[in-house]
Amino acid sequence: MTASGAPAISVVMAAYNGAGLIEDTIASVLVQGFADFELIVVDDASTDGTLARLRAIDDPRLVVIAAETNGGPVVARNRAFAAARGGYIVGLDQDDLCHPDRFATQIAHLENHPDTVLVASAVDLLENGAIRPPRAPLRTSPALIDWRLQFGNPLVWSSVMFRADAARRLDVFERVDRRYAEDFDLYHRLAALGRLARIDRPLVTYRMHPGGASQRYRQAMDASAAAVLAEPYAALFGDEADDAARLVLTHFAGALPVPDRATLARLDTMLGAVHDRFCVARNLSAADRTLIMDEYARLWWRMADASVRSGALSLDTVTAACPQGLRPRHPSSRRAMSSAVVGGVRSLFSRWKAFAL
């Protein structure tokens, strides 16, 4: 505890019908090596006994707030944040698991980097009882995180720790009109106050399951994320900012196939404009430029591969369209040939169906 009696860290969590998972999540918090924290859980009018399970946990660091009516996760987290007394805020969903050294590692990072307002971590994935390693990129820097924010959300909410005083400078903690992309929106607003960073080893296990919000509310999440990106895009694209944000999120960040050459050309122009503006505005080190260009190439070729494999575009088409400065060939020749064969078959089948009709 600090001299004022307030904890160093406040964990904020929204809970709703999480009776099957939330006790393990809370247990992963209560065994942290860094023990100076409070865990504030707002039960959002659960109907499955979650509240009773929360109240049965005997630990003075756990604060349970029962909402009278269901207001959704943004309202619940805003209520938890309003009650938080810690100098650092930890984000955590009811179904994810903290590694035992998470708090100690992240608070040390923030204390050693006073210009950083938020630090996240890599996460490993728990699916069907098996742990999967973190997804790319495996190496990051604050500059790369900032670059990725221009195109999509690079950070997992359950992995973040940030300075409470920075978040309290915002007009509102999480915005209700950005529901399902409220974390992405928060990162953009915090980035105006300091650096965002990521520790490149897993400190959290992210549980993949059909009941997760990212699986259930994909359409609403995409719409809110597009609204977040459209704000910084407005200066570049004007009335086309909404469409640009949607295209970038769907294809470049989301890796869904590009439907035709015209869309690919348009998308490449948009990506280049955002990338160039970012690089001009920052004094990037050689190491940061390398990380950024490697990630640009990874995301572009992932999108290109999906487009070839779907049958929408040929391998020759995407190779010719590769932006200048990126590696000019698919990073895996074996995968390139496989996708070209699969895409060719799908394209022929689509043409046959159209002819048959």
Residues 337 and 315 in one domain: yes
Name the domain boundary from 186, 216, 246.
216
Overall average pLDDT of the 96-124 stretch: 98
Percent of the chain, pLDDT > 70?
96
The number of distinct structural domains making up the chain is 2
Does residue 355 carry a pLDDT above 80? no
Task: Let me know: does 187 contact 153? Beta carbons within 8 Å.
Answer: yes
Report the pLDDT value the prediction gives residue 158, as an integer from 0 to 100. 98
- Could you tell me which residue, 133 or 174, shows the higher pLDDT? 174
Token match 């369209």: residue?
Answer: 321
Percent of the chain, pLDDT > 90?
89
Name the domain boundary from 216, 238, 253.
216
Overall average pLDDT of the 57-79 stretch: 96
The CA radius of gyration of the chain, in Å to the nearest whole number, is 22
For residue 2, being part of any structural domain is answered with no
Cα–Cα nearest to 273, from 301, 239, 232? 232
Most confident residue range from 38-42, 207-211, 215-219? 38-42
For residue 3, being part of any structural domain is answered with no
Residues 184 and 273 in one domain: no
Domain that holds residue 180: 9-216
